């Protein structure tokens, strides 16, 4: 299966294992959501894929390349881009400095093209390019996070809780624009607490409970059966 393939993944913090032998697949160009309660292990999975955490065992491969054991920067070099929870902008740097820092390895021409693409996607960021990122609204900071991802030209995009702390109208707008901002060749794995929006946007879902796979299936199977998702979340 092209795309992302995870097999037998185990991850722990010190002696506390939090991901217990997870198997997960995302096909090339597919949009898949990870759902689950707080503390289920969803963000840990994304951090492990992107090299911020080291698995204790198992395999993570993307596009046929084994990512386990690679540094976070090497994984970025394989086209894996992580938009973390909480947006994580550099608050003291202005908007354009944030974009440049996140893409410091690019040459001048490539950087210029990336900035143009980011500003075309979010014109308000161009208007505020000299404003400290910490003074942006929550929605504008999310724009900045997505703009950094646009500049990186991802092959695999990992987005953690895009809806967190945003008004519902903004959440809907961001999800509606993902396909506009990133081509159909971009594979996406999304962590989301907002099950209805995830079911509306993604083709498949995985429900994680206590570090294990509790449920998986096509999103359209659950759009009219939220009770099954709630049972999977809670283990009842």
22 or 163: which leads in pLDDT: 22
Spacing of C-alpha 51 from chain mean position: 13
Long-range pairs of 218-225 with CB within 8 A, sequence gap ≥ 24? 219/33, 223/199
Tens of pLDDT, residues 23-61: 999 999 999 999 998 889 999 999 999 999 999 999 999
d(Cα 19, Cα 9) in Å, to the nearest integer? 7
Q: What is the CATH number of domain 4-234?
A: 3.40.50.300
Domain positions in the chain are 4-234
- pLDDT bucket at 236, cuts 50 / 70 / 90: low
Spacing of C-alpha 139 from chain mean position: 16
Q: What is the mean pLDDT of the segment spanning 168-181?
A: 85
| pLDDT given at position 104 | 66
Q: What is the mean pLDDT of the segment spanning 163-169?
A: 84
| pLDDT given at position 28 | 95
């Amino acid at each position: 299966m092209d795309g992302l393939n995870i097999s037998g993944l185990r991850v722990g913090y010190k002696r506390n294992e939090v991901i217990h032998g997870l198997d997960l697949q995302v096909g090339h160009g597919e949009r898949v959501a990870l759902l689950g309660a707080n503390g289920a292990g969803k963000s840990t999975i994304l951090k492990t894929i992107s090299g911020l955490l080291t698995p204790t065992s198992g395999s993570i491969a993307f596009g046929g390349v084994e990512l386990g054991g690679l540094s976070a920067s090497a994984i970025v070099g394989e086209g894996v881009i992580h938009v973390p929870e909480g947006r994580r902008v550099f608050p003291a740097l202005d908007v354009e400095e944030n974009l440049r820092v996140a893409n410091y390895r690019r040459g001048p021409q490539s950087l210029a093209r990336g900035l143009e693409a980011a500003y075309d996607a979010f014109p308000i960021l161009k208007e505020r390019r000299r404003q400290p990122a910490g003074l942006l609204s929550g929605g504008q900071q999310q724009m900045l996070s997505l703009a950094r991802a646009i500049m990186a030209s991802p092959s695999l995009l990992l987005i953690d809780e895009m809806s967190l702390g945003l008004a519902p109208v903004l959440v809907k707008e961001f999800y509606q624009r993902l396909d506009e901002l990133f081509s159909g060749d971009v594979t996406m794995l999304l962590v989301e607490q907002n099950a209805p929006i995830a079911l509306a946007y993604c083709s498949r879902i995985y429900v994680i409970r206590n570090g294990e796979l509790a449920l998986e299936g096509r999103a359209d199977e659950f759009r009219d059966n939220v009770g099954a998702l709630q049972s999977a979340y809670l283990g009842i």
